[in-house]
Structure 1
Amino acid sequence: MLLPDVQTFLAVASAGSLSAAARQLNVLPMQVSRRIAALEEDLGVRLFHRTTRSLTLTAEGEAFVPYAKAMVDAEAGARAELSPSPGTASGVLRMTAPSGFGQSVVLPMLPGLLESNPDLRIDLDLSDRQVDIVGQGLDLALRIAPLEDSELVARKIAPNPRLICVSPGYVKRYGRPDTVADLDQHRCIKLDAVGRWPLVVDGKLIRKRIEGYVTTTSVEAARTAAVQGLGIAMLTHWDVFRQLADNSLVEVHLQDASMEDLSVWAVIPSRRYVPNRVNVFLAALQKELSDLAGRRGAQPL
């Protein structure tokens, strides 16, 4: 199986036609057709349904896509590792991150990262849902929720504990809770994904039922609602570190409970053939978090 044939297969699958793939690869359509035919003969399966008007992947072609991407990424990773400038990255970094963390930390760091790596491109999905990174062909997922057992590889990037926060305006008008029981008397902002607030009481994790004065699916909306004084929110440190630094939000410390410790995790599909762009991004992310902690008095990393 020749790598140029595999690269041609991915180009055709992405472009949707032989002629479009040929333009993308800067070769003749006949060369594209020959490479696809050679790959199909090598694998012993048909990869595309072809008619005079359309070209679509067969079931075997669909199944081959992630393997083809892994082969191309492995080749790119090897070249990057052996290149004279291993500190730079190239290609498309396909990744996902939680929306709040992505807005607060990832997006602000991208201009500097891309300036230092002019051949790098970013394909970023900001979503609070658990994305199947293997099925979606992603290089990397940043996750904050407690990790489930999986065959994926996880690396801890930074601590990111939950915390309860509220605006000074809310405190002035309604006061602040001192105990877990006091939460029942306050207006709370609830995330759909966190129906019960996890709290550590007497060393045990409990899940406190919260009646949402405001309920939302969005971390950004919960943060904005808290800043506007609509209620008390439970978010994570890196979701609200800027607001804590400028005092638009203050942290609430309960006398009889502490917060659940979470972390920012980097999740990759495999330890093998990690593209250099992933390592370069993670190094930049760790530096960004460390710099932010130093500048804003955030929790040390």
Structure 2
Amino acid sequence: MLDDLSLFIAIVEAGSLATAADNMQLPAATVTRRLQALERALGYKLLNRSARRMQLTAEGAQYYEQCRPLIHALRQATQRLDATLGAISGNIRVLAPVHLAQGYFRQAWSGFLRSYPEVTLEVEMSNELVDVVGSGADLAIRVGEQQDSSLNQKLLASTDLMLVASPAYLQAAGVPHTPGELEAHARIVGRPLTRWKLRNPADSAEVVVQGAPRFQANQMDLALSMALDGLGIMLCPGTMGRRHVASGALVRVLPGWSTERRHIYAAWSQQRYLPARVRALLDYLSQFCAVHPL
């Protein structure tokens, strides 16, 4: 009914149904039909029409005078809202795991802010699964495909995992040559990587290693520091372990066995419209991951 009311205002301001139809790029028959539907819904005639002239009825004149300011105000509000939602400015709140937010994506945050000076960015780091919808966050970085049907998600990147230990630890405890030998070693766990799944490339046989670790933390950096201090063997993301292996501070363990790949997604609520600033960040992160593959 609101669209038909706006049409009625346009007809009166145009001076005729034909002119209004031309202005709105609608068939004249469609304009006539919608005006008649509005009159039936209201229960009174708004316009007296003949082949030569169109004249407001008393009810039509009263209706026009009362509704015209409302329709114009609504149009102005819609235009302002369109401009606001279309502007790449304002605050963006992002949820992200600690090691990804301050590690792999660190340069992405600064690069995005340089590209969009009217945007402010709030990154909340947590390894706990914070409710995206309930927290009011605009975007979340998540590891693993999300099963929450209330979320949209987009794959950003994939990364490998690697078993690592310090040379000092392996010299003292021995080098394991099979997954079964890991049970005799001290395990360091950075949650959520509590369950280690290894695959033998030769025959695709899978082995799952689990059990009580000697040390575990919900912060991957802390767990990695324990591995660097020689306290055990750790399964860690390649994004964190690779540079330490290159420097010699850590050594790959069971390098002939492959581990699961971890997929990194951007997730956002289906219940919220994605403003231009958030869409810009999502596009920027996608491009960043394409240029800086894990």
What's the TM-score, normalizing by structure 2? 0.62
Query: Which residue is equivalent to 2:229?
Result: 228
Contact 2:182–2:209 (8 Å) recurs in 1: no
Sort the Cα spacing of 1:136 and 1:261 in 2 relative to 1 into closer, same or farther, 3 A.
same
How large is the Cα RMSD of the aligned pairs?
Answer: 3.0
Contact 2:179–2:207 (8 Å) recurs in 1: no
1:110-149 map, 5 Å: 110-149=109-148
Query: Which residue is equivalent to 1:155?
Result: 154
Query: Which residue is equivalent to 1:97?
Result: 96
Bigger Cα displacement from structure 2, 236-245 vs 131-140: 236-245
2:80 and 2:139 map into 1 onto residues whose CA distance is: 16
1:49-60 map, 5 Å: none
Matched letter for residue 268 of structure 2: I
SS at match of 1:211: coil
Render the CA deviation track for 1:45-91: whole Å, top value 9, x for unaligned: xxxxxxxxxxxxxxxxxxxxxxxxxxxxx9999537856xxxxx321
Contact 1:168–1:248 (8 Å) recurs in 2: yes
Show structure 2 runs of 5+ residues with no match.
Answer: 1-77
Sort the Cα spacing of 1:270 and 1:229 in 2 relative to 1 into closer, same or farther, 3 A.
same
1:277 aligns with 2:277: yes
Contact 1:179–1:254 (8 Å) recurs in 2: no
SS at match of 2:214: strand
1:59-70 map, 5 Å: none
Sort the Cα spacing of 1:281 and 1:180 in 2 relative to 1 into closer, same or farther, 3 A.
same
Render the CA deviation track for 1:108-158: whole Å, top value 9, x for unaligned: 432232122111111111111111111111111111135324231111101
1:205-284 map, 5 Å: 207-253=208-254, 255=256, 257-270=257-270, 273-284=273-284
Render the CA deviation track for 1:210-267: whole Å, top value 9, x for unaligned: 3312222211101111222221111222343443444433333355x43112211111
Matched letter for residue 230 of structure 1: L
Show structure 1 runs of 5+ residues with no match.
Answer: 1-73, 84-88, 294-298
Matched letter for residue 120 of structure 2: R
Contact 2:191–2:216 (8 Å) recurs in 1: yes
SS at match of 1:264: strand
Sort the Cα spacing of 1:159 and 1:239 in 2 relative to 1 into closer, same or farther, 3 A.
same
SS at match of 1:131: coil
1:79 to 79, 83, 99: 83
2:118 and 2:141 map into 1 onto residues whose CA distance is: 22
Report the structure number with the largest CA radius of gyration. Answer: 2
SS at match of 1:178: coil
Deviation at 1:181, TM superposition (A): 0.4
Sort the Cα spacing of 1:81 and 1:98 in 2 relative to 1 into closer, same or farther, 3 A.
same
SS at match of 2:128: coil
Query: Which residue is equivalent to 2:16?
Result: none
Render the CA deviation track for 1:163-196: whole Å, top value 9, x for unaligned: 2122333334434322110111222102354433
Sort the Cα spacing of 1:179 and 1:165 in 2 relative to 1 into closer, same or farther, 3 A.
same
1:210 and 1:156 map into 2 onto residues whose CA distance is: 31
Matched letter for residue 217 of structure 1: N
SS at match of 2:111: helix
Sort the Cα spacing of 1:76 and 1:170 in 2 relative to 1 into closer, same or farther, 3 A.
farther
Bigger Cα displacement from structure 2, 172-181 vs 226-235: 172-181
Bigger Cα displacement from structure 2, 97-106 vs 142-151: 142-151
What's the TM-score, normalizing by structure 1? 0.61
Matched letter for residue 249 of structure 2: S
